[in-house]
Amino acid sequence: MGEEVNILGIETSCDETAAAVVADGRVIKSSVIASQAQLHEKYGGVVPEIASRAHIEKLYPVLSEAIERAGIDKDNIDAVAVANRPGLVVALIIGVTAAKTLAMAWKKPLISINHVHAHLQSAMMDEEQLDLPAVALIVSGGHTNIYECDTPLDLKLLGSTIDDAAGEAFDKVATILHLPYPGGPSIEKAAKNGNPKAINFPRSMLEAGSLDFSFSGIKTAVLYYCHGQDMKGQDKVPSMNEQEIADIAASFQTAVVDVLVAKTKSAADKLDAKTVLLGGGVAANSLLRKALEQMCEQAGRKLLVAPKPYCTDNAVMVASLAYYKYKAGQFADLTLEPKARGS
């Protein structure tokens, strides 16, 4: 074995400013995350201009801390990796510009990373090799994707959302219920004492056999439930008691999880998958983790789930995936640009 490969990862795709140093794709030497959730809370969602400015303010301290905590200096860093897509361009551009500057100044290779693919890496960091075929569900604030996954660099998109992402639905329903941003953890907390069968919200499966998702219908159903059909009534949420809110949260959460699990099962059945992977911010949801666990147990499939601290945005997943690109010689050049899209 040669020397270890240390990669500095940078992540600024949305509202977390993150940097990490990871050796050989799996040894986490440092991970620093500055969350902007508080800045966006009063708006009920991410405000791009505020996100961009906060990344500018936080990136230097976050980077310095990540390098210091890793106990290495620039000479021991073998490459600089950055998430350049998909995400908010005004946010991504801060990380991309910093990564390009460091790569140029330190004369290190630059590696571009697809943020959604990196989420999947969090679920397979500890695996030497996947038992194939493998199906991966990535559920975040911006994406709901199902992939067939052979290696960290070899992903085939099988299905995705045609409207809202799962996390986006959690965030929007939390706003409807006057619960704090980010909505996912708030809904999960509110749902704890709720009855998941209280309200039968729609579970959109689209046409038979489809591996695509749609979550805008359920969001509208919650809105109509709270404001009356076609939004013709008053907002009833302020006059609801805690139990009523808990019942709506639990019923919504269960409906979303039912759809996510059914679609993943359908993809896994189609491919006769031996392994199922779960990653992305919504993967932190305990009900989803448990439901997928049961599905996999019944079908004799191995489930690999991202550890909770690495479900939401972080730079470990960026530096970890970058290791495979490093080994494959897949480098970017200094013309690298941020991109809003990329699946």
Give me the residues that bind Zn ion (CB under 5 A), please.
140, 313
| 190 forms part of the interface with ligand KG4 (CB under 6 A) | no
| Helix, strand, coil percent content, the chain, rounded in steps of 5 | 45, 20, 35
| 121 forms part of the interface with ligand KG4 (CB under 6 A) | no
CB of 207 to ligand KG4, least distance (A): 26
| 312 forms part of the interface with ligand KG4 (CB under 6 A) | yes
| 185 forms part of the interface with ligand KG4 (CB under 6 A) | yes
Report the residue number, 70 or 306, with the smaller CB distance to Zn ion: 306
| 88 forms part of the interface with ligand KG4 (CB under 6 A) | no
| 280 forms part of the interface with ligand KG4 (CB under 6 A) | yes
CB of 318 to Zn ion, least distance (A): 10
Question: In angstroms, rounded to a whole number, what is the distance separating the alpha carbons of residues 107 and 99?
Answer: 11
**In which residue are the tokens 């493998």 written?**
134
Q: For 24-88, where are the alpha helices, taking DSSP H only? A: 37-41, 48-70
Question: In angstroms, rounded to a whole number, what is the distance separating the alpha carbons of residues 190 and 175?
Answer: 13
Collapsed DSSP state (helix, strand, coil) of residue 40: helix
CB of 1 to ligand KG4, least distance (A): 33
DSSP string for residues in 97-151: HHHHHHHHHHT--EEEEEHHHHHHHHHHTT-SS--SSEEEEEE-SS-EEEEEEEE
Question: In angstroms, rounded to a whole number, what is the distance separating the alpha carbons of residues 209 and 211?
Answer: 6
CB of 274 to Zn ion, least distance (A): 26
Task: Please name every residue paired with 155 in a beta bridge, in sequence order, or none if there are none.
Answer: 149
| 317 forms part of the interface with ligand KG4 (CB under 6 A) | no
Instruction: Out of 44, 109, 159, 281, name the contact with ligand KG4 by CB under 6 A.
Output: 281
Please tell me whether the peptide bond between 238 and the residue prior to it is cis, using omega within 30 degrees of 0: no
Question: In angstroms, rounded to a whole number, what is the distance separating the alpha carbons of residues 73 and 189?
Answer: 42
Report the residue number, 29 or 85, with the smaller CB distance to ligand KG4: 85
**Pairing between β-strand 275-279 and β-strand 302-305 as defined by DSSP bridges:** parallel
CB of 216 to Zn ion, least distance (A): 20
Report the residue number, 117 or 265, with the smaller CB distance to ligand KG4: 117
| 11 forms part of the interface with ligand KG4 (CB under 6 A) | no
Mask: binding to ligand KG4, 143-172, rule CB under 6 A, as x and -? ------------------------x--xx-
| 86 forms part of the interface with ligand KG4 (CB under 6 A) | no
- Residues interacting with ligand KG4, by CB under 6 A? 14, 119, 140-142, 167, 170-171, 182-185, 188, 280-282, 284-285, 312-313
